[in-house]
Chain A
Amino acid sequence: MTREIVGRARRLGDDINTDYIVTSARKRDSLDETVLVRYLLETLDPEFAASVRPDDILVAGRNFGCGSAMEIAVTVILAAGIRAVVAQSFARTFYRNAINNGLIPIECDTENIAEGDTVTIRFGDDRIEVENARDGFVVVGRPMPPFMHDILKAGGLVGYLRLAASEMRSPTR
């Protein structure tokens, strides 16, 4: 199965920590991602949240999502309608939280992707690739263990566990 996602690249740099994605201080007022999405990446760019479109794809440099393990950093991105993040590399807690919430994290060379480029992600079990429409250049993403594909296919850990529970309960097994 290959999922295809086409979107506009939103270019970010290296070491974007989760406090920058959504600052802890904002969490004093709400833990609701549909509220917090207004403050997405505000420390880096106060205009960013207002400029996000649902088909946007975040494209970052190294170590995306470092710092705090707060899962809200992932759900706020999802609340903005973003379905995938492409980065040179991810901090492990962000990567894990992304998978557990059905946000597709793709680790690949992002140097060639610029702000506003149209990118096509082909996310398959055996092959993950990202194509840049500007020059037709295709980069191959780092493969993901089958277990993580399964969680993503279930839409995250919630769907995965519900599925597991219903399979356990199912009388045919």
Chain B
Amino acid sequence: MSNAKTISEKILSQHAGKDASAGDVVVCDVDLVLGTDASAPMAIDYFERMNGERVFHPDRVMFALDHYAPPSSPKTAGFHDRVRAFARQHRVELNEVGAGISHQIAVETGRVVTGDLVIGADSHTVTAGALGAFATGVGSSDIAAAMITGKVWLRVPETIRVEITGQRASGLTAKDIALGLVAELGPEGANYQALEFHGEALGTLTVEERLVIANLAVEAGAKAAIVPHDELTAAYLAGRTDRQPVSVEADHGARYARTVTVDLSASTPLVALPHAPDNVVALDRAVGTPIQMVFLGTCTGGRVSDFHAALAVLERGGGRLAPGVQLVVTPASREVYLHLVADGTLAKFGAIGAVITTPGCGACCGTSGAIPGDGVNVLSTANRNFNARMGNATASIYLASPEACAAAAVTGRITDPASIG
């Protein structure tokens, strides 16, 4: 049998110190452990129950206070104090309230490079796969064990090969590509499996676009979503890290569970209807749905290019919100926030009437930030629209691109952004 390997098999073999293939259970060295204020308090409990005394590699652990930013109750403020005290005691990097979402901080501050093994106690840890890392979500007990031992147990996944082909149709965004992929795979279509991206059109996707696609891969159950390193990856990492990325390529003849092709020339703008991210229809079919709240933000749609794209549509639409629409803007990180301040974007959002909130998860999962009112329809750049996700079970959440969200803010209904202006 040939020993040709997928990227996942290679990265996990390297980190296990032995040859491993899909199906093997291996114990791997971890390059980065991520914890959030939603998962780290529980991890600290596990750490204590495991009789943890010290963190094996303090410099490989990073916490972010992002889900309750700022804290919405004395209780959540208490979670923060617990995480702060642990971070201080064990000399672990702590990103304070306002620093942003763990996944965004991890990529933009150069904590992740190609070839790394990243685990995070949050399902959207897969996002960092856009830089060619094997990044996967685990539970709090796993990150506690990894803090103590420096290691994690993993079953080496099979891989689905995703071929990105074709000339991109005009108006097609990364969010549309990602939602289309989730719909095609289904809610568990990639369960226990990794996605590996290839194809001649992959090089046309910017790193920020790759982050969107990798982020949403977990909505199909993917364990990891890996975009191989190329010049764009190198350019993104340059200046962010001194570490040398180890470019990991799939071997010729590596075995894939199957191949899925995404033809960008045949793809169209999409929207996910309530209450599941794979409940996807062509945007055209949802046009006219009344929208009362628009949310721009999250680890999916809260980056600089997202806000630029949304603002362009808002300005084309006259720079005014439709009556009765609340627009909430939450940059994914402080770096994003400061960039948007410096280039004037946030001032323009402010002038339009947006509510601008602290960098972090914001309204995404109902733990802090704006909660939709009863019966409200929300159009959001987020990745999940489960019932009650934003903290109100009577609200209905629709997911779309920043452009489509901005278009709805202008008209008060789901609208094709191409028709604005």
A binding-site residues for B, Cβ under 8 Å: 15, 17, 19-20, 23-25, 27-31, 43, 62-63, 66-72, 74, 89-93, 96-97, 100-101, 145, 147-148, 151, 156-158, 161-162, 165
B386 at the interface (CB under 8 A from A): yes
B51 at the interface (CB under 8 A from A): yes
Can you list 24 contacts pairing A with B, beta carbon distance less than 8 Å? A23-B388, A24-B67, A27-B367, A28-B76, A29-B73, A30-B75, A62-B188, A68-B123, A69-B137, A69-B139, A70-B38, A70-B139, A74-B139, A89-B188, A90-B191, A93-B123, A96-B138, A97-B139, A97-B141, A97-B142, A145-B25, A157-B46, A158-B141, A161-B51
A29 and B388 CA atoms in complex are apart in Å by 16
A165 touching B51, Cβ below 8 Å: yes
Q: Which residues of A contact B187 (CB under 8 A)?
A: 15, 63, 66
B267 at the interface (CB under 8 A from A): no
Q: Which residues of A contact B388 (CB under 8 A)?
A: 19-20, 23, 25, 43
A162 touching B51, Cβ below 8 Å: yes
With both beta carbons as reference points, the residue of chain A lying nearest to B368 in the complex is identified as: A28
| Surface stretch bound by A, among B107-115, B147-155, B169-177, B301-309 | B147-155
Q: Which residues of B contact A151 (CB under 8 A)?
A: 153
B50 touching A162, Cβ below 8 Å: yes
A63 and B182 CA atoms in complex are apart in Å by 14
A19 and B389 CA atoms in complex are apart in Å by 7
A24 and B121 CA atoms in complex are apart in Å by 15
Contact status of A31 and B139, CB under 8 A, knowing A19-B386, A69-B122, A91-B188: no
Q: Which residues of A contact B386 (CB under 8 A)?
A: 17, 19-20, 67
Q: Which residues of A contact B86 (CB under 8 A)?
A: none
Given A28-B75, A90-B191, 11 further pairs, Cβ under 8 A: A20-B387, A31-B79, A43-B387, A63-B187, A68-B123, A93-B123, A97-B139, A158-B46, A158-B49, A161-B50, A162-B50
Q: How far is the CB of B157 from chain A (nearest CB, A)?
A: 9
B39 at the interface (CB under 8 A from A): yes
Q: Please give the number of chain B residues whose Cβ is less than 8 angstroms from any Cβ of chain A in the complex.
A: 50
Q: How far is the CB of A1 from chain B (nearest CB, A)?
A: 20
B73 touching A63, Cβ below 8 Å: no
A24 touching B367, Cβ below 8 Å: yes
With both beta carbons as reference points, the residue of chain B lying nearest to A23 in the complex is identified as: B388
A67 and B383 CA atoms in complex are apart in Å by 10
- Per-residue A-contact encoding for B157-168, CB less than 8 Å = 1, 0 else: 000000000000
Contact status of A93 and B138, CB under 8 A, knowing A19-B389, A158-B50: yes
A62 and B278 CA atoms in complex are apart in Å by 15
Q: How far is the CB of B125 from chain A (nearest CB, A)?
A: 8
B286 at the interface (CB under 8 A from A): no
Q: How far is the CB of B297 from chain A (nearest CB, A)?
A: 16
Could you tell me which residues of chain B, from 357 to 387, have a CB within 8 Å of some CB in chain A?
365-368, 384, 386-387
A96 touching B148, Cβ below 8 Å: no
- Per-residue A-contact encoding for B269-289, CB less than 8 Å = 1, 0 else: 000000010000000000000
Q: Which residues of B contact A147 (CB under 8 A)?
A: 25, 153
Q: Which residues of A contact B46 (CB under 8 A)?
A: 157-158
Q: How far is the CB of B12 from chain A (nearest CB, A)?
A: 14
Q: How far is the CB of A44 from chain B (nearest CB, A)?
A: 9
B64 at the interface (CB under 8 A from A): no
Q: How far is the CB of B374 from chain A (nearest CB, A)?
A: 14
Contact status of A25 and B391, CB under 8 A, knowing A72-B42, A101-B141: yes
Q: Which residues of B contact A24 (CB under 8 A)?
A: 38, 67, 365-367, 389, 391
B139 touching A96, Cβ below 8 Å: yes
B139 touching A148, Cβ below 8 Å: no
- Per-residue A-contact encoding for B203-236, CB less than 8 Å = 1, 0 else: 0000000000000000001010000000000000
B41 at the interface (CB under 8 A from A): yes
- Per-residue A-contact encoding for B305-341, CB less than 8 Å = 1, 0 else: 0000000000000000000000000000000000000
With both beta carbons as reference points, the residue of chain A lying nearest to B277 in the complex is identified as: A67
B42 touching A148, Cβ below 8 Å: no
A161 and B153 CA atoms in complex are apart in Å by 12
B148 touching A25, Cβ below 8 Å: no
A23 and B366 CA atoms in complex are apart in Å by 9
Q: How far is the CB of A70 from chain B (nearest CB, A)?
A: 7
With both beta carbons as reference points, the residue of chain B lying nearest to A100 in the complex is identified as: B141
B20 at the interface (CB under 8 A from A): no
Contact status of A157 and B141, CB under 8 A, knowing A28-B367, A91-B191: yes
Q: Which residues of A contact B123 (CB under 8 A)?
A: 67-69, 93
A120 and B275 CA atoms in complex are apart in Å by 34
With both beta carbons as reference points, the residue of chain B lying nearest to A64 in the complex is identified as: B188
Could you tell me which residues of chain B, from 21 to 51, have a CB within 8 Å of some CB in chain A?
25, 38-39, 41-42, 46, 49-51
Q: Which residues of B contact A25 (CB under 8 A)?
A: 365-367, 388, 391
B73 touching A66, Cβ below 8 Å: no
B155 touching A145, Cβ below 8 Å: yes
Contact status of A96 and B188, CB under 8 A, knowing A68-B123, A145-B25, A158-B46: no
B355 at the interface (CB under 8 A from A): no
B256 at the interface (CB under 8 A from A): no
B50 touching A157, Cβ below 8 Å: yes
